[in-house]
Chains A and B, each alone.
Chain A
Amino acid sequence: MKSWLAKFRISAAMDAGEPLPKSLRRAIAADPELERFARRTGALGSALRNAPQTSADLHGGIMRAVRAGAQREQPRRAFGAGWLAAGASAAAVAGVCLWISFHHLAPASRQPLDGAVMVLEMGEKLPNTMPSLVMAPLSNEWARVDHDLQSTTQVLLASFP
């Protein structure tokens, strides 16, 4: 048992890359079996370091598979982003309609076409005021929002006498 423990300590110290403690070195010097074990473990480690590395020319295949995997992921992400953008567009249009109806009813002094003009101006200004980094990936969605705003304007204009 004592010998097993000493062997394990030798093995663990070698694996940790630590020098053997003085007490262990003394034990090795005094015990031929431990001395043989330490020598054998070191020799085995040296031999195992020459592990056969095999070259399999995998690079092209791996990169093709990685790219294909990345492309498969993209439509899924775009699908999610599309839903998000559609939701945001709907909310924006609803918000604009509420805002217009509220302001249309409140001040009597306002011109009747103010709301429609504001919506039209908003549709034109928003892409310019938003950072291009934000807008670039959502160009399709933005085109739809713009279309919705144009439609809203048409409806509002048509509703005025």
Chain B
Amino acid sequence: MVNDFPSMTDEDLARKSQAGSLAAFEELVHRYENRIYSFIFHSGGHDADAREAAQDTFVRAFAAIAQFDPTRSFAAWLFAIARRKAIDCYRARIPSGGGEPPEEADPDDPAELLARREEARELWRRARQSLPDSQFQALWLRYAEEMDLGQIARVLGKTQTHVKVLLFRARQKLAAELQSASPPLTLSINGAIL
């Protein structure tokens, strides 16, 4: 049977999941599995812990899908669950910078793109090392997930003003960290040097 799940919004899929469609939930898993894993992994988990926490996130989400309000953002709801799982993950293990993430298999990338990715990877690694959890998560949700302030506030359980402050402080601290690095890390985006 052909379904039109790929063209449906997350919230429509969640509505179908609430009506008992496991196939609709599977489409949501497909859309979010790597994003949730990345969020937990970069928030301080190790690969195995992050996998388990990502899995637990979806199990919990399916069990609680009836409580989701489809008029709101599914991403924010799911990431709020993932955040709690990530916290459990840190409690179980002292963060140590996250270790090395699994390599992405993308051998056809142009060298410039790879260099930019390496630069971003280093930037995020430093962010993880130097920022408190809440600032790191706000930064991740803002840039990696491209969430707006309202969604970030819902995920973190804070006000939008608080999120603005978290992002401001996170960028200030990260910029200072890059400047004090030896040798200083330079960003070549738009010709700006940090």
Contacts and interface: CB of A to CB of B under 8 A. Distances in A.
Interface of A: 7-8, 11-12, 15-17, 39-56, 58-59, 61-63, 65-67, 69-70, 73
A9 B4 CA distance: 44
How big is chain B's contact interface, by range? 35 or more
A47 B168 contact: no
Interface centre among B38, B50, B105 (most CB of A within 10 A): B38
A54 B175 contact: no
Given A11-B168, A40-B175, A56-B37, A51 B120 contact: yes
B187 A62 contact: no
Chain A facing B: main interface SS: helix
Given A47-B189, A52-B124, 8 more contacts: A11-B171, A43-B190, A49-B146, A53-B34, A53-B38, A56-B50, A59-B33, A65-B58
B142 interface: yes
B167 interface: yes
Contacts of A67: 22
A16 B168 CA distance: 12
B88 to A, nearest CB: 16
B78 interface: no
Interface in B99-155: 101-102, 104-105, 116-117, 119-121, 123-124, 127, 139-140, 142-144, 146, 148-149
A56 B54 CA distance: 10
B33 A47 contact: no
A49 B143 contact: yes
Nearest to A44: B171
Contacts of B104: 52-55
17 contacts: A15-B142, A43-B194, A44-B174, A44-B175, A47-B119, A47-B123, A47-B187, A48-B142, A48-B143, A50-B120, A52-B121, A53-B104, A56-B33, A58-B51, A66-B22, A69-B63, A70-B22
A151 B54 CA distance: 54
A15 B192 CA distance: 19
A51 to B, nearest CB: 3
Chain B facing A: main interface SS: helix
Interface of B: 22, 25-26, 29-30, 33-35, 37-38, 41-42, 47, 50-51, 54-56, 58-59, 62-63, 101-102, 104-105, 116-117, 119-121, 123-124, 127, 139-140, 142-144, 146, 148-149, 163-165, 167-168, 171-172, 174-175, 187, 189-190, 192, 194
Nearest to B190: A43
Contact of B143 (A45, A62, A69): A45
B124 A48 contact: yes
Contacts of B63: 69-70, 73
A73 to B, nearest CB: 7
A58 B51 CA distance: 7
A47 B120 contact: yes
Contact of A58 (B22, B54, B167): B54
Nearest to B26: A63
Contact of B144 (A16, A17, A43, A51): A51
